[in-house]
Structure 1
Amino acid sequence: MKILMVNKFFYIKGGSETYYFALKRLLEQHHHTVVDFSMKDPKNFASPYERYFVENIDYNARQNIASQMKLGIKLIYSQEAKQKLEQLIRKEKPDIAHLHIFQHQLSLSILDVLKKYRIPVVYTAHDLQMLCPNYQMMTHGKICERCKGKRYFNCTRYKCIKDSTAKSLLGTMEAYFNQATRKYDIIDKIITPSQFYRRKFLQFGVNPDRVVHLPNFLDLKQPKIAPNQKGDYYLYFGRLSKEKGILTLIHSAIQAGIQLLIVGTGPLQGHLEQVLRKKGTHRIQLLGFRSGQELFHLVGNAKAVVLPSKWYENGPYSAIESLMLGRPIIGSDIGGIPELIREGENGFLFHHGSKESLAGAIRKMELLTPEEEQMFSDCSRQIYQKYYTGTAHYPKLMAIYQEAIQSKHPPKQKEGYRR
C-alpha cells in the first residue's frame, strides 16, 4: 500500500511528530511505501519528497500589517500547499492519506485536493483543533468549551489564541470558513489516541461512525536500565508550560517533603527558577533538556512519574514511556490521563489543579511496601505490552485504513446472471 502521510513539522517537535516517525518506521517495516508531505525547515529530517514541501511559515514571528494579512489568508487557505500536494499526488498516486497536524501552515486547502482525487482520508486527532480554534479547549489557564455548538465567536470575545485579539479573530474566521465549506467532511475516519477525545468529538456533534479510538504506541526496543540504582525521587518530564500543572506539582512536592526532578524546557522555565529560588528548596531540581539513554535512566529509576496536567491531555508519550519502563504514575484526573492509570494497581489519580489532592497521592505512593512497588511496576509493563506496542497498533490501524478505503471505494457488486 502507498500511504500519503501529512504533518506540518518534519522533525521531532512534540508528541505528534514522535508518533509520525514511529508510524512511518512501522509501516515501512511491513513493506508499505510512505509518501511524506510537510513544511520546509532547517531542522527537518531528509525525505525523498522534500521538493514538494511548502515554504516555511512562522505565525509567531513579528510581522507588519501587510505581512500579517498575507499570512492570515495562507492560514485559512494555502494555494501553495494545494498546488504542491496535487503535484505530489499526480506523481505518486497514493492509495490512502493519513493526516496528522496540518492546520494553519498547510491549511485545509489540502482536503480539496484529496477530495478531487477521491483519496480515502484518515486523520489522527493529536489535539482538538477540529473542535476548538485554539486547539486546547483552555482559555487563560482554565478549561473552556464555549465554542461548543459552533459558537466560535467566543474565541475572539475571550482572546483565546495567545491573548491576542488579531490572532483570535483569525482563528474565529478560520473556524467559520471551515464550517461553511464543510472541509472536514472529506475525512473518512478520525482516530483519537484517547477514549476521552473520542467522547469529546461525539459531544461536539461528530458522527460516531467516523471516530475511532486507537492509542499511540512506542516502537523503541526495551531500554536497559542499570540495576540496583532505583532513586528516591519523583520525576516530571515534558514541556514546561502553564497547562502542564508544574506549579501545582512544585507546591505539592514541598508539602509532601519529597525529592522532585523536573526535566524539560519551555516558556515557564524562567518563572520556575524564580519560584524555586524564593522557596529556598534544594529537594527540587530543574535539569533542563535530557534525551536518549540519560532520560531512560532518569525515568526508569524514578520512584514514580508525575503527570500534573490541568488541560485535556490526549495520550501523552511521557506516560507511555513510563509504562514501558515499568514506572508507577501519579496523574491528574483529566483528559486521557486516567486511561493510563489503574488506581491502586500501577498508580494514583488526583484532582487536577489541587495541591492537597496531589500531595495526598504522593503520600499514598510513599506508604507502599517494596513488594507493592514491584507489583505497581509489573502492572505498568503489562499495560504497555497490551496496548502501546507497534505489534498491538499495526493490525488495528490496517483495519481502520480498510474501512476508510471501502467507504470511499465500496467493492463493486457482481452482477447476477439473467435467466
Structure 2
Amino acid sequence: MKILVVHNRYRSEQPSGENNVVDAEVALLRSAGHDVRLFERRSDDIASMSLAGKVSVPLRVPWNPAARTELASRLRMDRPDVVHIHNTFPLLSPSVVAACTDAHVPTVATLHNYGMVCPPGTLYRDGQVCTSCVGGQPVPAVQHGCYRGSRIATVPMAVSTAVNRRRWWSGISRFFCISGAQRELLVSAGMPAEKLMVKHNFVEEPPVRRELPGEHVLYLGRMTEEKGIRLLMQAWPRADVGMPLVLAGTGPLSDEVTAWAATRRDVQYLGLRTKEECRQLLARASAVVVPSVWLEAFGLVVVEAMAAGVPTVAPAHGAFPELVDAEVTGLLHRPGDVSTLAECLRRIVAPARNQEMGEAARLRYEKDFTPSVGLDRLIAGYQAAIG
C-alpha cells in the first residue's frame, strides 16, 4: 500500500506525544513493507521566517492556499492509495483536506485531541474541564482567550474550527479516535458516528521490564496544572506510602515543583530525561501516577507502564477508565480529589496486590497495545477508507 502521511510537527523544544506517535506509525508501516511518504511542515521553521512571514502565520491557520497547491502537486506525483492526516496547525491548515478531496484520494485523519470541538483542543479552562464550545460555535473560546490566554491568538483557531468543521466531516473517509471516550464526546457534538473508529495508540516492546519489587512511585510527564502535578503535590504528604516519589519531566511549573521537592526528603525531581532514562525509571517503579485533571483523550504513559509490567493510579475520567482496569491493572481515583488520590497511592504499593496488578497490566498490554495490534487497526482503517 502506498501511504502519504500529512503532519505539522510540533516544536522540538517541547517533547511531543503526537510527533512520537506519527514517527512510530511511519516506522511500523515501513517495517511491514508499505511505501510511506511524508508531507510535513515544522513549527520550528517559524523562528527563521521573516517578520512578514511570522505575521502571516495566524492568517493562514484557517486556510493556507499554498499548502493546498503543494499537496495537490504531491498527490499527482505520488498517487497514494490513501492519505493519513495528523496535525495541520499552524502551517498546513484544513486546506489539505480540500486538496485530497479534489484528487479523489481516500483520506483518514487521527484525532489526537479535541480540536474538532474546542479551538485549543484541550476542553480545559480556568483550572477545570470546559465543554462550552462542544456542539456549538467556538465563541466562548474567544471570549475567554482559551489559547495561550489571549483572545487575539484564539481567533484564528476559532475561525478555523467554525468554518472548516463541515469540510473535515465530509472530506475525511475515516477518523481514528484514540479512545472510546473521545469518540463518544465527538459523536455527541454532532460528528458522523459512522466515520469515527477507535484506534488506540500502540507502544513498542520496552527493552527493560520490571522484575524486582518497585523502588519508587513515578510521575512521568509535563509539569503543568492540567496534568495534575499540583494535585499530586497536595496528595503525596497524605499518602505516606513508605517509598520515594520520583518526578521526571519539565514545563511551566518546573520551578514550583523544584521548590516543593526541596522541602521533602521523600521526593526527587529529576527534570527532563531521555527516552532510555525514562524506560529505566519505569522498570524500577512500584507504580505510575497520572493525576490529570483534564479529559485526556489518551494516556500514553499508562500504556508504557503496562508494557513494563507496572500498575497505574489515574483519575476516573477521560480515556483512563478504558485504559486502567480498576482493581485489576491499577486504581482509579475521583478526578481532582486529593483524598482519594492519596488513598489509591497508599493502596497500590501494597506488595502482594502490586505484583498481581503489574502482571495483569502486562497481559493487557499484550492483548491491546502492541505494535502488531496497532498495525492491524491502521490497515483496517485504511482499507475501510479505500472501500
Question: Alpha-carbon deviation of 1:227?
Answer: 4.8
Aligned partner of 1:223 in structure 2 is 207
- Which whole-Å CA distance do the structure 2 matches of 1:322 and 1:224 have between them? 11
Aligned partner of 1:410 in structure 2 is none
SS at match of 2:60: helix
* TM-score scaled by length of structure 2: 0.93
- Which whole-Å CA distance do the structure 2 matches of 1:330 and 1:268 have between them? 21
| 8 A contact 2:222–2:250 mirrored in 1 | yes
SS at match of 2:233: helix
| 8 A contact 1:15–1:316 mirrored in 2 | no
* TM-score scaled by length of structure 1: 0.86
**Quick one: structure 1 residues 138 and 227, their matched pair in 2 at CA, closer, same or farther if it must change by over 3 Å?**
closer
Q: Name which of 300, 306, 317 aligns with 2:289.
A: 306
Q: Name which of 60, 73, 78 aligns with 2:64.
A: 78
Structure 1: 5+ residue stretches without partners: 43-55, 407-419
Aligned partner of 2:338 in structure 1 is 355
- Which whole-Å CA distance do the structure 2 matches of 1:183 and 1:22 have between them? 25
- Which whole-Å CA distance do the structure 1 matches of 2:58 and 2:211 have between them? 54
| 8 A contact 1:252–1:355 mirrored in 2 | yes
Question: Alpha-carbon deviation of 1:68?
Answer: 6.6
Aligned partner of 2:2 in structure 1 is 2
| 8 A contact 2:182–2:319 mirrored in 1 | yes
Aligned partner of 1:249 in structure 2 is 232
Query: 2:138 aligned with 1:138, yes or no?
Result: no
Q: Name which of 78, 86, 89 aligns with 1:103.
A: 89
SS at match of 2:258: helix
Aligned partner of 2:139 in structure 1 is 153
**Does 1 or 2 have the higher relative contact order (CA < 8 Å, sep 6+)?**
2
Aligned partner of 1:45 in structure 2 is none
Question: Alpha-carbon deviation of 1:13?
Answer: 3.6
Question: Alpha-carbon deviation of 1:95?
Answer: 0.8
| 8 A contact 2:209–2:307 mirrored in 1 | no
Aligned partner of 1:23 in structure 2 is 25
Question: Alpha-carbon deviation of 1:69?
Answer: 5.3
| 8 A contact 1:194–1:314 mirrored in 2 | yes
Aligned partner of 1:287 in structure 2 is 270
Residue identity opposite 2:343 in structure 1: G
Matches within 5 A, 1:2-401: 2-9=2-9, 13-40=15-42, 56-57=45-46, 70-179=56-165, 182-220=167-205, 222-225=206-209, 227-228=211-212, 230-258=213-241, 259-277=244-262, 280-366=263-349, 368=350, 370-401=351-382
| 8 A contact 2:119–2:158 mirrored in 1 | yes
Question: Alpha-carbon deviation of 1:292?
Answer: 3.5
Question: Alpha-carbon deviation of 1:67?
Answer: 6.4
| 8 A contact 1:96–1:120 mirrored in 2 | yes
**Quick one: structure 1 residues 68 and 166, their matched pair in 2 at CA, closer, same or farther if it must change by over 3 Å?**
farther
**Quick one: structure 1 residues 286 and 31, their matched pair in 2 at CA, closer, same or farther if it must change by over 3 Å?**
same
SS at match of 1:7: strand
SS at match of 1:234: strand
For residues 251-309 of structure 1, the C-alpha deviation after alignment (integer angstroms, 9 at most, x for no partner) is 111111242100011111112223334xx212111101222332222111111000100
Structure 2: 5+ residue stretches without partners: none
For residues 2-53 of structure 1, the C-alpha deviation after alignment (integer angstroms, 9 at most, x for no partner) is 10111111879422122111111111122111110111477xxxxxxxxxxx
Cα RMSD for the two superposed structures? 2.2
Aligned partner of 1:416 in structure 2 is none
Matches within 5 A, 1:398-409: 398-406=379-387
